[in-house]
Structure 1
Amino acid sequence: MVCLKSYYQKNDTNKMKITHLIFSLEVGGAENLLTDIANLQSINHKVSIIIVNNIYSTSLIKRISKNVEIITINRPEQSINPYYVLKLNVTINKINPDVIHCHHHNLINLLFFRKKCKVYLTLHRNGIPLDNLRKYNKIFAISEDVKSNIRGSYNIISCPNGVLYDNIDIKVDYNFDTFKIIQIGRLQSKIKGQDILINAIHHLVYHLKFDNISLDIVGQGPDMKLLQKLIDDLSLNNYIKLVGNWDRNFIYQNLKNYSLLVQPSRDEGFGLTIAEGMFAKIPVLVSDIGGPMEVIGQGNFGFHFENTNFVDCANKIFNIKNTYLDLENTQKLSDAYNFALEKFSIQKT
């Protein structure tokens, strides 16, 4: 695995001009990573972020350093009006960057009038079409899993996501009256699998008779109404809450108050929230797919269940609860923290 910052080196007296290009800047793993990287890069380089579409989170923009120039093109999503493409290219030519770093594989097709500069791409997920990959000078994958899912002879460098772990409060008290579970992610169940976890909670409450349990689902997205209906239909309103988006600082301060973080994704290239849970020293339970399994060291530093199997998910939660105070598990949390520190610190990205 290679550190991203090693590809942004010039001598100390010659700052690079780095432009990050992204379609939208909503709350999510890719967007969180971009803001953190841009903030760190701006210490030594001249950094800008160009947001193509008129979709962006003001709370996320507030987290970006004043040293980073933020430029909005304000294109309506999926608009084919050439005005916005022209505006984008004129803006880039004025900046005259040394590097344009794209955060979606299609963005290079909007760059027509750029001067000679390197164009990089970060692959933030699996299932990326191959059509545009050879157009980039360098390609970074957020995990070995994402890298291995790209078939063909592409020069792809694995560079894991990083976490600002210093900002995360660490859990010290593992006693509980209610076993509190947290899940964080965009409410898009075909990818993030929140429905799997909801069904697992139903199995725990009504079949395994484990009722001193609660689940907070953090995030927003297109499936909010669908997931709320599922909660209603399964009579789980006393156990599960869709709490909406939380500010990341609030999440970092409150992860320690939970007994377990579950990431039940059907598809996940990495799983930034899993690493955040490890830094908070709370147990993490993930579906046994490539990216999340990579984050927990193939099961050495976290728990896993069979992908899409809500009964197995429920059984694993039940077992974690029953062995929660065991020395083996508390040592596992310390080992998980050290593993995350070695692999997923933002300073090493």
Structure 2
Amino acid sequence: MATPMKIVHINFGLETGGIETMLVDILNEQCAYATVYLLLINEQIDVNLIATIDPRVVILRIGRPKGSRNPLYITKLNAALLRLKPDVVHCHNHQIARLLWGRTGRRYLTIHDVQVPTSYFGRYDKLFAISDIVRQDVLQRTGLDAYRIYNGIRTEAIVARTAYTANEIFRIVQISRLQHNKKGQHILLNALRELVYTYQLTHLRVEFVGEGESRTYLQQLTNDLGLNNYVTFAGLKTRADLYQELQNYHLLVQPSLYEGFGLTVAEGMAAGVPVLVSAIDGPMELIDNDRFGYSFPSGDAHQLAERIRGLVLDYESKAVRTMATSARQHACTTFDVRQTASRYLASY
């Protein structure tokens, strides 16, 4: 019997975010076919997220404090790799290569966004890109050809919406880190103000799921726009809860200003929830240029408001139901994490 491949995934931390949640799913899939380790450099750990990792995955924590420059932690990192002698070292942040000494296994990097600094790309044996737009971005800036493997989600765990009726309250959800200069939550708030005060659509409710550095700013903006009765900041939710609750929303809006993929858009599609995204490359790739979702010009709050208004008025139409059903089928066949994990294993 052949010896199982030994794979070490390395990331700086394991806090709640798209990269981290996708990484956990990859680990849980790969450990059925290989010996898998997760090596975490920093001490920042989400205990709820780490608890969802399959017990067959060996977790090694270097425990470096935030901001520390103590070389002892880098020594511990490299000593662990030397002891493990992995076949594959799969990194999930481009800067990790600068911390690695010698050659312990083949080195791979997954590039999770556009405009990632390229200084250390040449230190990896192979680059992976999470979307075609990320691949094109890397190629244009470096001449290096990354191999595209879409991020994946646990589609089988997501409960799908089945009825497309507009209730007394029309629920809109936005799921991401509260980082308005990237994720564009302020654009959605300005659109909501127009919908409520110009079009009198007072049955709309927006729920922001996530935490981040922009929370205080966004809460103040909500107050300044007179939207306190229409907006909820729900904080973080576990994926188990989110996968059960997605079906209860009428619409998922992702107003990002730049984005290499958009994992929550794929999750909304898999839940059969209509999705409305800014017309930038990553999200547009997900919805196949309006084939499986709706879009609006990036940064344009008025056009976002118009798009939401149109969907609210047409929500019970056959067109909306057909779009959402087709999007669910597309997400389940294209963005399933089992397929993602399998493609990584075949590409090492």
Q: Please state which band the TM-score falls in when normalised by the shorter chain.
A: over 0.9
Q: Is the 8 A contact 1:93 1:113 kept in 2?
A: no
Distance between the aligned counterparts of 2:45 and 2:260, measured in 1?
23
Distance between the aligned counterparts of 1:83 and 1:14, measured in 2?
33
| 2:65 counterpart of 1:60 | no
| 2:323 counterpart of 1:332 | yes
Distance between the aligned counterparts of 2:156 and 2:312, measured in 1?
28
What code does the residue aligned with 2:263 have? L
Equivalent residue, structure 1, for 2:35 = 46
Distance between the aligned counterparts of 2:236 and 2:33, measured in 1?
32
The secondary structure found in structure 1 opposite 2:77 is: helix
1:194 pairs with one of 185, 188, 203: 185
Equivalent residue, structure 1, for 2:10 = 21
With normalisation by structure 1, the TM-score equals: 0.95
The secondary structure found in structure 2 opposite 1:316 is: helix
1:338 shift after superposition: 1.6
Equivalent residue, structure 1, for 2:237 = 246
Q: Deviations over 1:110-143 (max 9, x none)?
A: 001443x100000011111121111111110000
| 2:67 counterpart of 1:82 | no
Equivalent residue, structure 2, for 1:103 = 92
Equivalences, count: 337
Q: Deviations over 1:65-118 (max 9, x none)?
A: 000111111112232211110011111111111110000111011001443x10
Percent of residue pairs bearing the same amino acid type: 39
| 2:132 counterpart of 1:141 | no
Q: Deviations over 1:172-220 (max 9, x none)?
A: 1222111100110001111111111111111110112111010110001
Equivalent residue, structure 2, for 1:184 = 175
Matches within 5 A, 1:207-286: 207-286=198-277
Distance between the aligned counterparts of 2:328 and 2:4, measured in 1?
34
What code does the residue aligned with 2:317 have? D
Equivalent residue, structure 2, for 1:9 = none
Distance between the aligned counterparts of 2:191 and 2:145, measured in 1?
41
Distance between the aligned counterparts of 2:103 and 2:67, measured in 1?
22
Distance between the aligned counterparts of 1:70 and 1:196, measured in 2?
40
What code does the residue aligned with 2:269 have? M
Distance between the aligned counterparts of 1:125 and 1:28, measured in 2?
13
The secondary structure found in structure 2 opposite 1:140 is: strand
Distance between the aligned counterparts of 2:2 and 2:118, measured in 1?
38
Distance between the aligned counterparts of 1:233 and 1:28, measured in 2?
29
What runs of 5+ residues in structure 1 fail to find an aligned partner? Answer: 1-11
Q: CA RMSD in A?
A: 1.0
Distance between the aligned counterparts of 1:114 and 1:75, measured in 2?
22
Distance between the aligned counterparts of 1:191 and 1:71, measured in 2?
32
Distance between the aligned counterparts of 2:144 and 2:86, measured in 1?
24
Distance between the aligned counterparts of 1:13 and 1:237, measured in 2?
61
What runs of 5+ residues in structure 2 fail to find an aligned partner? Answer: 341-348
1:174 pairs with one of 164, 167, 180: 164
Q: Deviations over 1:286-327 (max 9, x none)?
A: 000000000001111100011011111111000011111111
